[in-house]
Amino acid sequence: MNKETPKEYLRFNTIERIQHVILFTTFLLLSFTGWALKYPEQTVEHSSWLVRIWGGAKNAGIVHRIAGITMLLDFVWHVLYLLYMLSTGKIKFHKDTTIIPLPKDVMDAVKNILYFLGLGKEKPQFGRFSYIHKFDYWAVFWGMGIIGLSGLFLAFPVQSSYFFPSWSVNWIWEVISIMHSDEALLAIVFILFWHFYNEHLKWNKFPMSMTWITGKISIEDMKHEHPLEYKLEFGDKGDNK
Amino acid sequence: MKRVFLVALLWIPLLCFTYSASAETFTCLACHSAMKGKIRTEGGVLIDVNVDGEKYSQSVHGGFDCIICHKQFGSNPHEPARITNVPQGIASLASKLTHKAKVDPVALAACSECHGDIYKSWQQSIHGSNVIQKKQSDGASCVDCHGLPHYITPKNTATSHINKKNIVKTCGECHENEGLARKYGFSTHILERYHESFHGKKYAIGHPNAPTCVDCHKYHDIKKWEDPMSPVAWDNRTETCGRCHKGATKKFVTAITHKPYGKDNPVPYYFEKGLIVLLLSVFAFIVGHVVLEAISEIRDKVLRKGKEGHHE
């Protein structure tokens, strides 16, 4: 393997970047239009600023629905895109580049936490996606299913009631609304802590990693953060530079 | 001299009235807007006979003479109050209201003179029959929902008790009252559950389409929900819910019961508990991880001067 080592490496292509931009735009819209409903009793004079900035609850509801549908379409696009890339062989499964959680990720997490605590001497070596990235990715995937589905039920209550079995009608709506609002809280806190720390606040990333817009990562950062992927892509030679 | 002074004092309140109250009203209010404390009636009940003249003149009935409603005070206002010299209909109605209206049953009956249809449907309602037939003094009449009779303002004003912003609170005055709930056998969870529901949450943030109590249960002719005449009786629900939810089916309309969580409704109760456990464990993990990592990064940068463990 005597590939010339470039200065930068394309980590995410244009389609993946567009999917990410749609995802976070709709996520922010959904959070800011939905939050007022989470603790409505806290609102002053029947409308907090979170409602007023949208020009009232009705508008906030419309924005929430449009953003929700857009996010779900983005999600469907992402899944279809992945299936297409896999079926045409443009993405191949490899243990060091996959987003699928593997036993190594659990070991990595333990090793990393031991390192944080000063109990381990080495940080784990990550592939294309560390366990931190995988957790970030699958949390969104899970949220998309739970919040997206319950959101559709809530947006179209009469139509969804056709699908519910008659023995569930006494509690299903409570379950759906708890599901939607509690999972949304989880998603917001998750993004605030996990994603914001790991991609914005970290020592070498502040104020943010530019990868989301350029799609590129410098070779130095790649060696440092994704050593296994680097080795796979450029061979061991590059490591000696 | 002293007497002149007193008479002058009595005129002061009159000078304040710049609204449409009539001359006769001025005469009554000269005293009745300046009375402190309470007086004892013949029946031995302590009553408040003071009226805030300014507020009264701004109310929907502010232009009325006092005796339009307080009919038995027409001739000599300070004769002991008796239900005489008033029209037959009002008198018979007032006689059924003596237990309810401690101050002036005639005045409470007098609402029917202008609001006859509403008064009739109230008498048919669960609130009205409770007052008229069951003779309960704590049953809801006009003033219990619409507020003190002298200060009723139009429905679209913020001070109106039945304004959309206030109506749920107004119903709650009784329907969240533990004593009344025990006496009449209704649940005090109803408002709480309404506020937790999507209808209630939308109402709280001021959504114009959010339904309140009266949108589903009606108001003047309100019935117990099991009564076949009630709009929320099982047979009428598809129509009632269908006003907003087009195509509502029998299966759909069971959605709202106002039942409390817990024993009656265990699935959402335990589902929520489970979700809270999930949420807290995820929060604990991510917050712990982020904090530990941040501390270790600072440690590496500051104490170990950039030497990190992982290239060795």
pLDDT per residue as tens digits for the range B175-189: 999 999 999 988 888
Preceding peptide of A207 cis, ω within 30°:
yes
B189 located within any domain: no
pLDDT of residue B244: 93
CB contacts < 8 A (A, B) = 139
Residue B227 inside a domain? The answer is no
Q: Has residue B41 been placed in a domain?
A: yes
Tell whether B44 is covered by a domain.
Answer: yes
In a domain, B221, yes or no: no
CB atoms B292 and A117 under 8 Å: yes
- Convert the pLDDT of each residue in B203-221 to its tens digit: 988 899 999 999 999 999 9
pLDDT in tens, B24-36: 777 888 888 888 8
- pTM for the predicted model, two decimal places: 0.84
- Choosing from B118, B152, B186, the residue where a domain stops is B152
Q: Is A174 on the interface with B (CB under 8 A)?
A: yes
Distance from CA of A167 to the nearest CA of B (A): 10
Asked whether residue B90 is domain-assigned, the answer is yes
| Total count of domains within chain B | 2
Question: Where among B133, B152, B171 does a domain terminate?
Answer: B152
Say yes or no for a CB contact (<8 Å) between A189 and B286.
yes
Q: Which residues contact B116 (CB under 8 A, 6 or more apart)?
A: none
Is residue B165, in this structure, part of any structural domain at all? no
Q: Across the interface, do B252 and A202 touch by the CB < 8 Å criterion?
A: no
Note whether B286 contacts A190, CB cutoff 8 Å: yes
CB-CB contact of A71 with A26 (8 Å)? yes
Q: Which of A73, A103, A98 is nearest to A85 (CA)?
A: A98
Q: What is the pLDDT of residue B11?
A: 55
**Optimal mutation site among A173, A183, A226, interface B, most CBs of chain B within 10 A:** A173
In chain A, the percentage of residues whose pLDDT exceeds 70 is 93
Which A residues, 25 through 54, put their C-beta within 8 Å of a C-beta on chain B?
36-37, 40-41, 43, 46-48, 51
The predicted structure's pLDDT at residue B305? 64
Q: Answer yes or no: do A124 and B282 touch at CB < 8 A.
A: no
Max Cα separation, chain A? Answer: 69
Beta-carbon separation of A186 and B200 below 8 A: no
SS3 B76: coil
Q: Give the SS3 label for residue B30.
A: helix
The number of CA neighbours under 13 Å toward the Cβ of B143 is 18
Q: Which of residues B120, B152, B184 is at a domain's end?
A: B152
Q: If you average pLDDT over every residue of chain B, what do you get?
A: 85
Q: Domain containing B300: what range?
A: 278-311
**Domain assignment present for B91:** yes
